[in-house]
Amino acid sequence: MKARYIACSTIATISLTAALVLEGTAQVTYTAEQATAGSVAYEQHCAECHLQTLVGSFEAPELAGQNFLGYWGGRPVEELMEMVISMPPGEEGSLAQAVYANIVAYLLERNGFPSGPAELVADATGILEGSTGPQEAPTTTPTRSTGPATPTGAAFGGRGGASGGGTSTFHEVTDFRPVTDEELVNPDPGDWLMYRRTLDSQGYSPLDQINRENVTDLRLAWAWAMEEGANQPTPLVRGGVMYLTHPMNTIQALDAATGELLWEYRRTFPEGYRAFFSQLRSIAIYEDKIFVPTKDAWLVALDARTGEVVWETQIADYQQGYTNVAGPIVARGKVINGINGCGRFFEESCFITAHDAATGEELWRTFTIARPGEFGDDTWGDIPFELRGGGDAWITGSYDPDLDLIYWGTAQAKPWVPASRGMTTADAALYTNSTLAIDPEDGRIVWYRQHVPGEALDLDE
């Protein structure tokens, strides 16, 4: 549903191939046509939070799989129907009763409950029984690009899970000067080359033309409409050109003096893809490229002059909930990026990656969740690695060229409440809610500071 969550107890993974059968109860039925209609309604009203694959994201629980069956198997269908009708919070019951019934039919189909000749109705009764097990959704396998994955200047259409995007170049950026390592350390006062302008993330501009005495004299020079959707952009400026991020990975280059559009890149997403977060807080610039981490967990390099794709590489599988929100920095020729979307449970947790700025090749990957046998493993109690969630990177990191260390912050463990993740507040859950000092050469964690060990109040960022 378009809600942030469905109230649901955290259930341990249970191996279940058939729901509990109770004597004297009616068989729950639905038609295949209902499930088909329900899949469309689910995409429109539910997939934004629970994802196309039904695996859930953040506080939105999974709606297909062993955990779903472990909780709902053997329970009355009217309880499931009541829960679905209560969605989304603030707009409860806003859909037609038949639409809610179709959505429930789709959930039943995806969880292996057989269809039949009779339609499911909103006031149906009966016990959820007879599941043959969850139906597997299609998945994609992350690739590791070692060179330009896409020809420069290519045109892209729908990609069905592969890479893609489209660029329109109206006016090539002329007299562009490639950004050097020295300029990242000490940028020109008129440039804004990264999230907080400088590698130490001070966010301070030395420009003094506008001051307290003349600020009231400012007048509107031009205005530019942004795309619809949640957005928290930090525009970059290089040589009088503004590089602007819009929701859902639309990137534009504008003449900062006039507002004229120079080029535009629009990301093409897999069919049916719905992002839980539409915003990207920052992009990065280095040499002659703009680096864009995408909502579907890719990293794209654009030509700063034309917006054409130079290379792109997949970081993670978006169907497991992975996405990008914060944005990267560039240090020592490497694009450093932290991933988001780690509220689900898979054998890969959240992580920070480094990519060769010239080719996109992944150089190292540092996990923000302690792995079995590593330092910090014992801070997760008895929780197996695949159930250790959280450690997202919500804010862009920084770099100290003198100490040659990258600093990156991590979010809390998931679920937020320790008891819900089978732990207590005495379990620190490294490296969540921490600042990590990372060696840019190999991704090694040099030191860490955990600000609130085992916290339960969403005190990240």
Q: What is the per-residue pLDDT across 95-104, written as a single tens digit (0 to 9) for each?
A: 999 999 999 9
As annotated, the residues of the chain forming the CATH 1.10.760.10 domain(s) are 32-128
pTM of the full predicted structure? Answer: 0.76
Q: Where in the chain is the domain with CATH 2.140.10.10?
A: 166-204+226-450
Question: 445: which strand partners?
Answer: 438
Torsion from C-alpha of 179, 185, 188, 191, nearest 10 degrees: 70
pLDDT of residue 368: 96
User: Higher confidence at residue 134 or residue 233?
Assistant: 233
The pLDDT of residue 460 is 66
Long-range contacts, 122-126 (Cβ 8 Å, 24+):
122/81, 122/85, 122/97, 122/98, 123/78, 123/81, 124/28, 124/77, 124/78, 124/81, 125/26, 125/76, 125/77, 125/78, 126/25, 126/26, 126/27, 126/28, 126/76, 126/77
pLDDT tens string 382-405: 888 888 989 999 999 999 999 999
pLDDT in the model for residue 1 = 43
Query: Among 80-84, 257-261, 384-388, 394-398, where is mean pLDDT lowest?
Result: 384-388
Please identify every residue annotated as catalytic. Answer: 458
Task: With cut-offs at 50, 70 and 90, classify the pLDDT of residue 58.
Answer: low
Task: Name which of 35-49, 97-111, 245-259 the model is least confident about.
Answer: 35-49
Q: Which residues contact 413 (CB under 8 A, 6 or more apart)?
A: 388, 389, 390, 391, 421, 423, 429, 432, 433, 454
**What proportion of the chain, given as a percentage, has pLDDT over 90?**
63
What average pLDDT does range 236-246 have in this prediction? 98
Q: What is the pLDDT at residue 165?
A: 62
The highest-level CATH class for domain 32-128 is mainly alpha
The CATH number given to 166-204+226-450 is: 2.140.10.10
The tokens of 42 are what?
């689910």
Backbone phi and psi for residue 293, each to the nearest 5 degrees, phi listed first: -80, 130
Of 157, 368, 195, residue with least CA distance to 271 = 157
pLDDT of residue 146: 32
pLDDT at 14 over 70: no
Structural tokens at position 423:
């732990």
Q: State phi, psi for 246 to the nearest 5 degrees.
A: -115, 165
- For residues 379 and 156, the model is more confident at 379
pLDDT at 138 exceeding the cut of 70: no
DSSP state letters, 392-448 = ---S--EEETTTTEEEEE---EESSSGGGGT--TT---TTTTEEEEE-TTT--EEEE
| 152 pLDDT more than 50 | no
Higher pLDDT, 89 or 415: 415
Under a CB-based contact definition with an 8 Å cutoff, are residues 63 and 50 in contact?
A: yes
The conformation of residue 183, written as its DSSP 8-state character, comes to: H
